Amino acid sequence: MSEVAEKFGIKQALKDLGLQETNNGTSTGKDFFSSGEVIESYSPVDGALIGKVKATTKEDYEKVITTAEAGFKEWRTWPAPLRGEVVRQFNDELRRLKEPLGKLVSYEMGKSYQEGLGEVQEMIDICDFAVGLSRQLHGLTMHSERPGHRMYEQYHPLGVVGIISAFNFPVAVWSWNTALAWVCGDACVWKGSEKTPLTSVACQNIAARVFAENDVPAGISSLITGDYKVGEMMTNDKRVPLISATGSIRMGKIVAQAVAARLGKSLLELGGNNAIIVTPDADIKNTVIGAVFGAVGTCGQRCTSTRRVIIHESIYDKVKDAIVKAYKQLRIGNPLDENNHVGPLIDKDAVKNYQSALDKVVEEGGKILVEGGVLEGKGYESGCYVKPAIAEAKNDFKIVQHETFAPVLYIMKYSGDVSNALELQNGVVQGLSSAIMTNNLREAERFLSVEGSDCGIANVNIGTSGAEIGGAFGGEKETGGGRESGSDAWKIYMRRQTNTINYTTELPLAQGIKFDL
């Protein structure tokens, strides 16, 4: 156990989460997939080995899916409110273990401890939502054109749901899917990120205890582990009718094609290139807060991170200078230390992408306003700590069009009215999150209108980063078009059925067709 881990209570957190310390790091206490290759999890906080898990083999995968299929056939017959009661108990465990799980998220992924706690809170919130939803999985009734007939729609459980999640939200995105899928009556097979395997095992441990206490059939919550090859097992498997995948656009296109080839369903949450429009009527203080947190929170590794700030030319220098000044106050360091604002990137490959982006923006004619760079020395031994950077750039730069998963913020100006700013904002292939800072009602309504933001999320006077679970989360264009979390996102985890009942002694046909025998 490293010095940092000892100081900040990681050993106790692992114990609380059912992860047993060994001489070689941490294991689950038993080999879930004993024949697979070893995956080592190193913390980007201090570079220390946290633990090891074993990757899923084809044989292991087959056992998981077979068990999930069998479990689903029983689970789907449980009344939805009873399934909701199991989710409520799972939620109680999350509340009890919020601190150790949040701490593990922070240490294994690198986001600040407060953000780690916030991620677990998202799990708690979606479980609350799902419990209420378990009594509201409603359909519609409608009038038939035929006398003595009744028509209605209902929703049935879909089957085995495959979930592929990313490292940046190693537990929350899984819960967005699985809490809803569970109350809908589905079994869930989760491929967590191979970069954060221990948080996945911890969640599975929590679910396993609750499920055992309630005699939930085996396979309703399963975990598979490994690289993209393990994910391919699910995406190509006809026994998995829905694949919910979170990750890069490149990954999403591969998943979409594989699932579509077998006429399956996919729910894709892919990249974002999110912008804040700042109009002359903006509140500058709130603009700076929204832009800075949006750009540097989770070290720029959110799909909703602010990548671009589009400022009206009349206030450009004022806003630019305020944001640059705010960056000077940022404290970069151990994310478990709540005095720090920014933790590390996930690994050294992410650092390389960060450095490459800064080189490219200069090559294309951009100007660096806040210098970047990799931090070295005591406290930065992992090599994953970087300085959040700002560059003046143009929207049509190739690097600006690309989503760099790092704290690199591009600032640009617009002239004229807000329609010109919207053209810049919408002028990227991604369409996840967007925001406008203005106290002008007409500008705000234009931004939210059919001619405004083309993103799945459009905010007024708040930043692009983050979302409440009550609303459906997702984006348009190459962001994927899927919706998770709140609103009616539950419907994708179910199959829709239209029913017609004839309660007469006759059999009239639709559209007045006659067919007499």
pLDDT tens per residue, range 164-210: 999 999 999 999 999 999 999 999 999 999 999 999 999 999 999 99
Supply the pLDDT for residue 222. Answer: 97
pLDDT tops 80 at residue 356? yes
Rounded Cα gap, residues 515 and 495, in angstroms: 32
The rounded mean pLDDT for the chain is: 95
Whether 148 and 504 have beta carbons less than 8 Å apart is answered as yes
Amino acid letter for position 422: L
pLDDT of residue 511: 80
Closest CA to 197 of 163, 222, 167, 233: 167
State yes or no: pLDDT of 27 exceeds 90.
Answer: no
Cα atoms in the Cβ-side hemisphere of radius 13 Å centred on 516: 2
pLDDT of residue 84: 98
Query: What whole-number distance in Å separates Cα of residue 293 and Cα of residue 295?
Result: 5
**Pairing of the two strands 149-157 and 494-502:** antiparallel
Whether 308 shows a pLDDT value over 50: the answer reads yes
User: How many other CB atoms are found less than 10 A from the CB of residue 398?
Assistant: 10
∠ CA 118-123-125 to the nearest 5 degrees? 90
379-399 pLDDT, tens digit per residue, is: 999 999 999 999 999 999 999
Q: How confident is the model at residue 35 (pLDDT cuts 50, 70, 90)?
A: confident
Mean pLDDT for the stretch of residues 446-467: 96
Structure tokens at 428: 């990227």
Encode burial over 262-286: b for 16+ CB neighbours within 10 A, e otherwise. eebbbbbbbbbbbbbbbbebbeeee
List C-alpha distances in Å: 131 to 80, 89, 124, 304.
Answer: 9, 10, 11, 27
Q: Residue 270: what residue type?
A: L
How many residues can be counted in the chain? 517
What distance in Å separates the CA atoms of residue 208 and residue 162, rounded to the nearest whole number?
18
Query: If pLDDT is split at 50, 70 and 90, which confidence band does 515 have?
Result: confident
Structural domains for the chain: 3-270+483-496 (3.40.605.10), 274-474 (3.40.309.10)
- Given a contact cutoff of 8 angstroms between Cβ atoms, the answer to whether 46 and 14 are in contact is no
Segment holding 195, helix H or strand E: none
Residue 179's CB is within 10 A of a number of other CB atoms, namely: 29
* CB-CB neighbours of 506 under 10 Å: 8
- Name residue 60's amino acid: D
Q: Which tokens in the block code for residue 469?
A: 């679970």
Residues that are catalytic: 269, 303
Reported confidence tier of residue 24, pLDDT bands at 50, 70, 90? very low
How many whole angstroms separate alpha carbon 140 and alpha carbon 149? Answer: 15
Q: What is the pLDDT of residue 135?
A: 97
Alpha-carbon span 216 to 186, nearest angstrom = 12
Q: Which amino acid is at 304?
A: T
Q: Is it the case that residue 402 has pLDDT exceeding 90?
A: yes
Nearest to 279 by CA among 389, 422, 467: 422
* Residues 357-380 pLDDT 10s: 999 999 999 999 999 999 999 999
Q: What is the pLDDT of residue 512?
A: 79
Alpha-carbon distance of 182 to 396, in angstroms, equals: 44
What's the CA gap between 463 and 466, in Å, rounded? 8
d(C-alpha 2, C-alpha 292), whole Å: 32
Within 10 angstroms of residue 255's Cβ, the number of other Cβ atoms is 26
How much is the pLDDT for 30? Answer: 43
Strands 38-42 and 49-54: antiparallel
Please write the tens of the pLDDT for every residue from 52-96.
999 999 999 999 999 999 999 999 999 999 999 999 999 999 999
* DSSP SS3 for 85: helix
Residue with tokens 């106790």: 12
Instruction: Tell me the two tokens of residue 152.
Output: 């209605």
**pLDDT greater than 90 at residue 31:** no
The phi and psi torsions of 39 (rounded to 5 degrees) equal: -110, 125
Distance CA 467, CA 372 (A): 28
How do residues 412-423 score in pLDDT, each as one tens digit?
Answer: 999 999 999 999
**Chain centroid offset of residue 277 CA:** 24
- CA diameter of the chain: 91
Q: What is the mean pLDDT of residues 220-249?
A: 97
